[in-house]
Structure 1
């Protein structure tokens, strides 16, 4: 079968026209996609900086949260840009969004525990039941807070041990913050025979507290009978100090009270 030169030429010309139309069409699509990507990256960067700066104007807003929310805003803008770019090539964006939603749901279910820690970290940073440098106790966890992250919080125990606690654990239990209020109370209780001079013992204990410059004048220290037994009674010295003076005052006053007891026993 002989090839008709005229038909062959017509077929070639038709192919060239179709290829030219496709090139023109997709050239505009590629150009539009490139422009969208460039503009999208610029806008995403601007949005990130605006949100970071705006949250910085909020008094006491945590630096970690500022970075977190500004980054989230950036990625949201970039995600919208990617969907728009795919639309330039005729891809059904509704299907893409549905697929992204399904993938996000699957990832969320797989990382459920991690997401709980992130949510708890945001709440800890926003409500601030504990801050860096504060000594806290949460269930069996106790120590000085060194870093509050989005996933976990790092603490240093009283004996210097490194502690890394998941944020969800810290958020779901009551927090005892020994530093936040700035002052702490301490009770020193001694047991003496009922025959001893109660007024004299109380006066002696109060004198010890009042002479110690670390003991606060308000609330004033007090000494009282805490418990009365058949042959003995418990007398308690109650006083308040600043958080920084709590341990040293406790050690010294315990020593002074012990010396008095030893002296009276001789």
Structure 2
């Protein structure tokens, strides 16, 4: 005696219909396709990041693929009427524990992805981040590594880099420098300002554009103070300042005008000195 299983009778006795099975199969196929695409996309994105080992990139890409696969399978089972709430609860608990354990690492990794994709800073840039100034030596999955002008290596976590203002001195190409000139008021003011600008324009380290400019800051019968502004290439700060001081001092000495030239200008006192 043979027993035959009628597929239609089987589904007629259950809440699962042929339509549900077809939808579940389509979702499984879509899940398989998304699993492959997600792994390839994650691998391609991680391949653009430097400072991350190949093993870490491979593990991360697999984790992304497995997450997509788990969600797709769970959705297909839900269509077939399988209770997946316990499985979802366990997965959420595991994800929460993992997020708490790897919170700092994950934050820095995500921030590193943003830094290396948007590129607010690049290797070789002169930047200032979180009060630290230096040349960008490396940007990896954990930190931005700066080489300070005095030779120190500074590691700034990626999360802290993004949460603080980033000052990029290299992006504009040129930076502004200032020098203060204190001299006796033996020259007409216009003539003095013109001489200072002319001296700055003749300095090799000073950029042609924007042009140097001078402003009278204070004047008295026997002395005056002038602020000289000039622009220089970002990697020639010390050279430009030294050459400007030498050129201005030479021009004023040539014209017989004793002066004191200081760069950068000293900070003004917050309160006037007490009378003697």
Q: Among residues 33, 38, 48, which one is paired with 1:63 in the alignment? A: 48
1:126 is aligned to: 117
Q: Please state which structure has a larger fraction of its residues in helix.
A: 1
Alignment of 1:129-144 (within 5 A): 129-144=120-135
The 3 A distance-change label for structure 1 pair 112 and 49 is closer
2-structure distance, mates of 1:153, 1:93: 43
Aligned CA distance change for structure 1 residues 79 and 252 (closer, same or farther; 3 Å):
same
Return the TM-score normalized by structure 1: 0.66
2:270 corresponds to: none
From 203, 226, 247, give the equivalent of 2:194.
Answer: 203
* Equivalent-residue separation in structure 1 for 2:42 and 2:111 (angstroms): 22
Match of 2:66 in 1: 78
Q: CA deviation at 1:243?
A: 2.0
Seen in structure 2, the aligned counterparts of structure 1 residues 229 and 75 have a Cα distance that, compared at 3 Å, is farther
Q: Aligned with 1:130: secondary structure?
A: coil
Residue 224 of structure 2 corresponds to residue 233 of structure 1: yes
CA contact (8 A) 1:132 1:147 kept: yes
TM-score under structure 2 length normalisation: 0.63
Counterpart-to-counterpart distance in 1, 2:202 and 2:165? 37
CA 119–78 in structure 1, closer or farther in 2 if over 3 Å, else same: closer
Work out the number of aligned pairs and report it: 218
| Distance of 1:74 and 1:119 partners within structure 2 | 17
CA RMSD of aligned residues (A): 3.9
Corresponding residue to 1:104 among 95, 101, 104: 95
Gaps of at least 5 residues in structure 2 are 1-31, 260-276
Alignment of 1:86-235 (within 5 A): 95-229=86-220, 231-235=222-226
User: Any unmatched runs of 5+ in structure 1?
Assistant: 1-39, 57-61
Partner of 1:3: none
Moved more, 128-137 or 247-256: 247-256
Q: Which of the two has higher C-alpha Rg?
A: 1
Query: Separation in 1 of the partners of 2:42 and 2:103?
Result: 27
Distance 1:162 1:245, change over 3 A: closer
1:73, CA displacement in angstroms? 4.4
Q: 1:47 to 1:108 in 2, by over 3 A?
A: closer
C-alpha separation between the residues in 2 aligned to 1:133 and 1:218? 24
Higher relative contact order (CA 8 A, sep 6+): 2
- Alpha-carbon distance between aligned partners in 1 of 2:187 and 2:146, rounded to the nearest angstrom: 47
Tell whether the 8 Å contact from 1:153 to 1:166 is kept in structure 2 after alignment.
yes
**SS state of the match for residue 143, structure 1?**
strand
